[in-house]
Amino acid sequence: MPHSLLSLVTAELAAPVDPRAAAMAGALAAKYPAAARAVLFYGSCLREANLDGLMLDFYLIVSDYDAAYGKSWMARANRMIPPNVFPFEHHGLIAKYAVLSEADFARLNSPAADNVSVWARFAQPSRLLWAADDLARQRAIAAVAQAAPTLLSLARPLAQDQADALALWKAGFTQTYNAELRAEKTGRSLSIVDADPDRYRRFGEAALAQGLPPSPQDAAARWRQLQTRGKRLSILRLAKASLTYAGGIDYLAWKINRHAGTAIVIKPWQRRWPILGAVTLLPRLLRSGAIR
């Protein structure tokens, strides 16, 4: 009998990682003693044997935003345009972490999400490195387990209702990469699946076996909505990060250079006025194809 999707997600979230990443997750949770509920590790660093010099990616799940922040405007910003993103350093490693409430994390992994940014990431491998208690752990697992069915249900109509799980994954990731401002090279969405086809086949077949959420009647229109909103949200989050993320514009340049093979150099005036600096970069990057 094939494994259930929930059991596959539970096992993957519990898989071992570099002990330094686990220690970093614990230190991150300790920064938010009144609010931290779970810390998840995701992204390309999961596949790296050496984390030195890399930017690790975490999601910090909190009970609610008011409990997480001492400043009310930070809670409002997180509530209005989730997530807030911050830099973090621990014992020589650097990271960025996004903050979401338990309620928002569950909603943004589900078909009710109005953008792809969370479920597109958690349909891919991730690790649950810290949880406040068993209830927090179970809630995080349940939220992540929604991500794959959400992606596959939206992808199925565009893949001509193909039964092949890998075809659905590739169709879905192709659409999610068009729904955000992305710095990755063309073809990156397909290489995600090709890098570990066994994993995606197992997860896809388990999701199909349990039944997917209903597909929208007009899936193409739904993807257009997600793409339009996703591009706008990318710009709004970039602007917000200039207020919450120290050195955010330098991180933006580093990420684009790493993924798109560009050689962007941030000028002093762009650091002084990061919102204006980031906005002035966008037209050139879009014209050159460095981001899409």
Mean model confidence pLDDT for the chain: 86
Greater pLDDT, 208 or 187: 208
Percentage of the chain lying above the pLDDT 90 cut? 62
The band of 130, judged by pLDDT with boundaries at 50, 70 and 90, is very high
> Closest Cα partner for 28 from 118, 96, 79?
96
Measured distance CA(36)–CA(45) in Å, rounded: 23
Residues 91-103: pLDDT tens digits?
Answer: 999 999 999 999 9
Q: What pTM, to 2 d.p., does this model score? A: 0.85
Please, what are the domains in the chain?
A: 5-231 (3.30.460.10), 247-288 (no CATH)
- Is the pLDDT at 290 greater than 50? The verdict is no
| pLDDT at 1 (0 to 100) | 38
- The whole-number average pLDDT for the span 149-178 is 88
User: Cis omega (within 30 of 0) on the bond before 83?
Assistant: yes
Mean pLDDT of 35-50: 93
Confidence (pLDDT) at 269: 57
Q: Are 143 and 109 in contact (CB under 8 A)?
A: yes
What is the β-pairing status of strands 55-62 and 84-90? unpaired
